[in-house]
Amino acid sequence: MPVTAVKLIKPRLTRNQIRGFWAAWGGWALDGMDSFIYAMVLVPALRELLPRSGIPATTANVGFYGAVLFALFLVGWGLSLIWGPIADRFGRVRTLSLTIIFFSVFTLLSALSTGVWVLAAFRLLAGVGIGGEWSMAGTFVAEEWPEERRKMGAGLMHTGYYFGFFLAALANYFIGNAYGWRAMFVLGGLPALFVAFIRYGVKEPSRWATKRNQSNEVWTVRRSFLYLFSPEYRRRTILNSTYMLISIVGLWAGAVYVPASVTFLAANAHLPVAEGARLASYATMILSVGTILGCLAVPVIAERIGRRATLAIYFSLMLIFISLGFGYAFYLKEGALSWFMVCLFFLGIGGANFAIYTLWVPEQYRTECRASAFAFSTSVGRFAGAGITFLVGAGVRHFQTIGIPVALTAVAFAIGLLLIPFGEETKGKALPA
């Protein structure tokens, strides 16, 4: 980019907008790292903790109880909808800091687990914080960045979560392999230190502060939440929550099983255990690179063809490559691992469908209920997602394989494609006041 162009762009972002973006991006990256650490250490952690809980550490039990813990984590994420009304009442930055402290502390405590149900409790509580960070960070960027750059800011911010996947893979490669799964959870407690930068370097979005100061009404947690079900917003809230549920099926019932799937494929190929762990890290990196590229493409595509059509493209990628990866490549007699890795890259691109919500959901609601809408839409579907994840785990136990149950989750994206035309198109519209 020419120097003159750089000079023209720089003045458009204030210091608080820049610091706030890095706070949102950094918090989202650490959030992604902490949420994916469990996926990276699923097999070794359960192999140790299941016998301590009186349960044989068979392949079927590892798959089943792994799904149970994923489901409980999703229940915690679903409970994170409480942060939205709090942020509408008390501010985005304050609430963002609280969510990071919450998930960091309970990820750290996971390292002290003495049994599978202790780990389950800590994962549930960590999910409450992890789920809240996204809605706080996305709301901040939407409200603080200038209108002409807000869409790109949403796409850039969302790459942080998948950069966190990359960090988790690197940490597993260098720390998990050397020091074990407990050391990974200790590492997951470090994001709490990031709160100091947020609290002392970032101010509340001017849009939220101005709106709150000018309002003659009393802003309450209950009032912000009830806005979502007013005649104006009810349909949008239901549809956004449904789209999000479908995306959750793809992430938590599909992508999160990637490390375990690669570990099992490596074992089937008679590779050493250490080599399987390294390949699981590589697989996560491939998935992360694909998703980061997909996130960067979201604002460009969404501005050209609209929000609904963009979501349809990403849903189609998930439908195709979950089916191919887990339903076909996983069962190849030769080259299964190689072809599965190829599918992972495109599955990663499709996984960037979450970035569309960071751009799209804030555009559909007013300032006084925007954080509540974001938190509710991105959280409530996780309760149903928890049930679906549990069913996937039961399927793994029944079929004695990961591939078939996960491949069946692709059906959700076919349903999603039928529902997308009913969504609220916001292309070309400014963020509501």
**What does the pLDDT read at residue 11?**
46
Give the range among 129-133, 302-306, 393-397 with minimum mean pLDDT.
393-397
Does CATH place domain 14-207+225-422 in 1.20.1250.20?
Answer: yes
Write down the pTM of the prediction.
Answer: 0.83
Q: What confidence tens digit (pLDDT) does each residue in 29-53 have?
A: 888 888 778 877 888 899 999 999 9
Q: What is the mean pLDDT of residues 341-361?
A: 92
Going from the C-alpha of 20 to that of each of 15, 84, 364, 389, the distances in angstroms are 8, 18, 22, 34
Q: What is the mean pLDDT of residues 293-315?
A: 95
Instruction: Find, among 138, 113, 108, the residue nearest to 34 by Cα.
Output: 108
**What does the pLDDT read at residue 390?**
74
Instruction: Find, among 402, 405, 390, 161, the residue nearest to 259 by Cα.
Output: 402
- Which pLDDT band holds residue 9 (cuts at 50, 70, 90)? very low
8 A C-beta contact, residue 103 and residue 34? yes
Q: What is the mean pLDDT of residues 214-221?
A: 62
The better pLDDT of the pair 382, 228 is held by: 228
Whether the predicted pLDDT of 166 surpasses 80:
no
Whether the predicted pLDDT of 241 surpasses 60:
yes
| pLDDT, the chain, mean | 86
Helix (H) or strand (E) holding 173: none
The better pLDDT of the pair 274, 415 is held by: 415
Whether the predicted pLDDT of 329 surpasses 80:
yes
8 A C-beta contact, residue 333 and residue 343? no
Q: How far apart are CA 194 and CA 197, in angstroms?
A: 6
Whether the predicted pLDDT of 106 surpasses 90:
yes
36: number of CA atoms within 13 Å, CB side?
33
Q: What confidence tens digit (pLDDT) does each residue in 359-377 have?
A: 999 999 988 889 999 999 9
Secondary structure (DSSP) of 83-97: HHHHHHHH-HHHHHH
H-helix segments, 306-401: 307-327, 336-351, 353-360, 367-379, 381-399
8 A C-beta contact, residue 251 and residue 354? yes
